[in-house]
A and B are shown apart, each in its own frame.
Chain A
Amino acid sequence: MKKLLLGLFFISLSFSLYAAETASEILKKTISIISPEMFEAQIKMTYLRSDGTTAKYAVILKNKRYTRSLVTFEEPEREKGRQVLRIEENLWTYLPKTKKILSVSFDSDFMGGDFSNQDIVRLNLLEDYTPEIKKETTNQYILDLISIGKGFAYAKIRFWVRKKDYMPLQAYYFSRSGNPLKKLVYKELKNFKGFIRPAIYEMTNLAENTKTYLEFTSFKKVTQLSDAVFYKENLGK
């Protein structure tokens, strides 16, 4: 009897390990599509205000190994040259008019839209969250990503992935109290010179019922990106 129980224990353990590995593998494949290790992207951000009007921003995002990011504003004209730099767990903004570099919070919203600084430059789903398969349907995996600590903006992310090619489809972001905060819908598959990924992100703020669109007008997966791009000394240059 003891041996039977021991056997069952090891079988269930190996099954759960296999399941965790599978969730992790699925997530890795999806992340390699939406955020490869190094890339440069040109993004247009459109914020739909509650009164029906829109605010538009254009930025260039450079990302290296999920720990270094640089955002440079191209539009609107009054924000041109503004930069946001992330190195590991630190975030700074460079203000070109005063030439000042100020530290900022990851939780602040990104230029008044529904994306936070964290969503743009920090969200590292591979290292900061533990994935598990919540449900598997005919065409989709539904994953739950649970944050590994308390210092993250979202305690849980529910993530829908297309089975056949691991394309991300949708994500729900939850607070620590379990309330859904935001909903992200991935849209419009595009071929960026051989790299195929969704070109539009639609983020809905569920509390305020506002929407922000990120439209990738350019995406370049690169194999080398100099560290000098992310030096504080080079902000404004």
Chain B
Amino acid sequence: MMRKIFLLLFLIFPCFLAGQKTIPDLLDEVPDNVGEMKNTDAPSTNFEKIKTGEIYQEKQLSFQGLILGTWNYKDQFNSNEDSDSKNFTTEINLIFQLKPSPLFQCFTDFGGKSYTQGDQNNSPLQKDHLVTNEIYFSSQLGHFNFNLGKKRLVIGSGTLLTPLDIFNPQKALPGQQIQKEGRYLAGMNFTQLYNSKTFSQLFADLVFYPEITQDENGLLQEMKFENNDFLLRLGGVFSAHEVTLFFFHRWEENWFGVSYSRYLTSNVELHLESLLFFHRKPVLKNIYTSLNKKLYQNTLLGIKYFLLSKMILTLDYYYQSDGLDSEEWDQATASPFIKQLTLFYLANQGTLYQRIPNLTLRRHYILGNVSYNNLWDYLNLNLSVILNPEDSATLLLPKIDYLPSANTSIGLGALLLPGKSGNHYESFGFDYMLIFDLNISF
């Protein structure tokens, strides 16, 4: 028996050795591919010929364009004949940047959008409009940067959701149009970099948002100074710790925020974002009219893990203390009539407040995201999950983007709501949505 084992090992061992990579000795001279300077050069690779000594010059005027086409189909699994609906949106964005010097920069983003919605019963509804997403001036004077005009300012760094999102433009969830329209503001930023690994930068922002009336194309019509909003932001990077403190004055209330992130190892990031306030958010305040005045806190705590240098895994816990508990949710949906009122109210809130208010009505959420970019160099894969353990509301967003050329991407995805009956994601009004989008940059 022992002889057989030894014989087997004797046969296997050379095969094992043959399978191992041989580490080269690497102590010999290597071929000199650098060569000598030549006046006429024939590149050794198949590249275009390099223009000798060409110096890069910053562009003073740059232009960028984007055509975006999105098609959605929504339906229910146990559907009756008229439960489905289709949307088709085409959008053209033209972005110009004029940069004659750091002292003066001008940035504009204009868009034209055509939206068509149709279902079994009604004739297609079509809306076309032109919108000015951004138009602002920016100036850098030493450590100070000044911005004036209509600008998109995005704060917080959570992948799917963050408590600070209530101050941001719409999330770019699959099937939802990115809200590119900014807000009129006057802002000042101060930044100081330090030559130190322990304290590398300090920054502060003061942003003032006057009350604005816009015309149908998003341009300034009237400005008032009665219900102004403010944002004060102060932050720094201390070693690998990035900390930012926020103060907002919005919807005539005060909000305090904190954002923190640091890399625990070279590929694992820990992040925390929290928002403190003394009243429920407008979208939740009127569903359940509790007058209890206490400190609320909404917090996101999670990790981001970079795997195999191409894959990013994110896992977050989102606690929303002003979210509806079971009793409040039951009251908000006590009868079909009250439920309809609640859903109608939520739908209307979307235009003035958080664009997708029914995503986070309750208290506890688990958020997950997996993305794998450049799979075979043609595909980007993404899977997002939002799960509420209180009533099993679940939202799944699988999406594949195919990159056939340098300026085109074609996306195919779905938004699935597989939770148990009666969960609060039923307020979406559909069980699944198929998404097809086409992006062409020029």
Contacts and interface: CB of A to CB of B under 8 A. Distances in A.
Interface of A: 40-42, 44, 46-47, 49, 51, 53, 55-56, 60, 65, 67-68, 75-78, 80-81, 87-90, 97-109, 111-112, 116, 134-135, 137-140, 142, 151, 153, 158, 160, 162, 167-170, 172, 178-180, 185-194, 196, 198-200, 202, 213, 215-218, 220, 226-228, 230-234, 237
B152 A137 contact: no
B140 A234 contact: yes
A161 B361 CA distance: 63
Contact of B266 (A107, A139, A170, A179): A107
Contacts of A135: 27
B237 A97 contact: no
A87 B34 contact: no
14 contacts: A42-B54, A76-B406, A77-B406, A97-B178, A105-B266, A107-B309, A108-B310, A116-B309, A139-B32, A158-B26, A192-B53, A198-B34, A200-B45, A228-B143
A200 to B, nearest CB: 7
B33 A186 contact: yes
A103 B261 contact: yes
Q: What 10 pairs across the A-B complex have the smallest Cβ distances?
A: A112-B374, A76-B406, A77-B407, A77-B441, A105-B306, A218-B56, A88-B200, A42-B56, A231-B191, A187-B33
Nearest to B33: A187
Interface in B299-314: 304, 306, 309-310, 312
B121 to A, nearest CB: 35
Interface of B: 21, 23-24, 26-30, 32-37, 41, 43-45, 47, 50-56, 64, 66, 97, 99, 102, 105, 107, 138, 140, 143, 145, 152-154, 157, 159, 172, 178, 189, 191, 193, 195-197, 200-201, 203, 205, 237, 239-240, 242, 261, 263, 266-267, 269, 304, 306, 309-310, 312, 373-374, 376-377, 403, 405-409, 439, 441-442
B206 to A, nearest CB: 12
Contact of A88 (B102, B237, B312): B237
- Scoring B50, B157, B195, B242 by chain A CB atoms within 10 A of each residue's CB, the highest score goes to B50
Contacts of B21: 179
B55 A215 contact: no
Contacts of B374: 55, 109, 111-112
Nearest to B140: A228
A80 B107 CA distance: 16
* Chain A, interface SS category: strand
Contacts of A46: 47
Nearest to B64: A80
Contact of B157 (A90, A103, A185, A202): A103
Contact of A193 (B53, B407, B409): B53
Nearest to A228: B140
Given A41-B56, A218-B55, A142 B50 contact: no
A134 B407 CA distance: 47
Contact of A76 (B54, B153, B269, B407): B407
A234 B201 CA distance: 14
- Scoring A77, A89, A162, A187 by chain B CB atoms within 10 A of each residue's CB, the highest score goes to A77
A168 B32 CA distance: 9
A196 to B, nearest CB: 6
Contacts of A188: 33-35, 41, 43-44, 50
Nearest to B201: A87
A56 B47 contact: no
B101 to A, nearest CB: 12
Contacts of B205: 233
A89 B266 contact: no
Given A78-B407, A107-B306, A134-B27, A169 B32 contact: yes
B47 A213 contact: yes
Contacts of A41: 56
